[in-house]
Copies of this chain bind each other. A is one copy, B any other.
Amino acid sequence: MLEGLHRAGSGEDLISEGDPVDSVRVVLSGWLCRYKTLEDGRRQIVNFIFPGESCDAHAFLLSVMDHSIATMTPVVYSEIKRARFENLMASDRSLAEAFWCETLVSAAIQREWATNLGRRVALERVAHLFCETFERLRPVGMVDGNSCVMPVTQMDLADATGLSVVHLNRTLQELRASGLIILRERTLTIPDLDALKDAALYSPSYLQPYRAAEATR
């Protein structure tokens, strides 16, 4: 099904708010983010995109992108042209269902992010982001024991958690000092995941398909 391999460097926009959507991208490696910006430059990352996930599935039911997508690391992805994608969706019911399912999980994650941004304090927010990232990376084989890569800058983490870079940095130090995380050389280690989840008020029920994917391995 995959075709048209592409590469992109770190910090590139693959598509921007207002752009028309004429293809679907499936990420093979690397981390990306969906983000929106305000006129004055304030930026909010509204979701991460991990390997195995797709970028714009179905967005072409709407006319243009409501948000932008940028790479946070070098990325390899496959591109499926709109017409071909629509054929695939029409001919393979289970494939179509998988894509829709991904869209629905993405929406559930989005709701959790809103809750994170609206009702959790800084430490909880960052802890929550780490828990979620860890759980999302696990079923795609990107977790090794209690560690995973965390290849993003503190500015990205700040924009994802709605904090200033300075405060994010201090929050990381607090998490480190309390032994909840070890973060160095772009590697995140979570010595005690349950403890981190407690600190984050993390409740995982919104990530079911990730669960399911894990169960069916």
A interface with B by C-beta (< 8 Å): 17-18, 34, 36, 38-40, 42-44, 46-47, 58-59, 61-64, 66-67, 97, 100-101, 103-108, 110-115, 117-120, 161-162, 201, 203, 205-206, 208-209
Contacts and interface: CB of A to CB of B under 8 A. Distances in A.
A117 B43 CA distance: 12
B59 A112 contact: no
A44 B161 contact: no
B104 A58 contact: yes
A84 to B, nearest CB: 19
A36 B203 CA distance: 11
- Give the number of copies in the complex: 2
Contact of A114 (B17, B61, B114, B203): B114
A162 B117 contact: yes
Given A62-B208, A101-B61, A111-B110, A118 B161 contact: yes
A46, A63, A66, A161: which has the most chain B beta carbons within 10 Å? A66
Nearest to A108: B66
Contacts of A110: 107, 110-111, 114
Contacts of A61: 97, 100-101, 104
Contacts of A67: 108, 111, 206
A89 B44 CA distance: 35
A111 B46 contact: yes
A62 B105 contact: yes
21 contacts: A17-B205, A36-B111, A36-B112, A40-B201, A43-B119, A44-B114, A44-B115, A44-B118, A46-B115, A58-B104, A61-B100, A62-B104, A62-B108, A66-B208, A67-B206, A100-B100, A107-B107, A113-B114, A114-B114, A117-B117, A117-B162
